[in-house]
Amino acid sequence: MRNRAICQRAKRLRGIVLFVFPFLLCLFFVLEVAARCSDMIQFQKQE
């Protein structure tokens, strides 16, 4: 009985990870793009 509860918790955790991981990847990508854009803007201002 206890094993089943652990298994359900693991399934739920895996579902959360599968849901959150692409979101984090997307967030990281957006931050990377934003950092590059701000660098380009600063570079243009220097000229």
In one-letter notation, the amino acid at residue 41 is I
pLDDT of residue 1: 64
Give per-residue pLDDT as tens, 1-47: 678 888 999 999 999 999 999 999 999 999 999 999 998 888 887 77
How many CB atoms are located within 10 Å of the residue 38 CB? 10
- 8: tokens are 């359900």
- 35: tokens are 């950092």
pLDDT of residue 46: 77
Cα 30 to Cα 13, 21, 37, 47, distances in angstroms = 25, 14, 10, 26
- Cα separation, 12 vs 8, in Å, equals 6
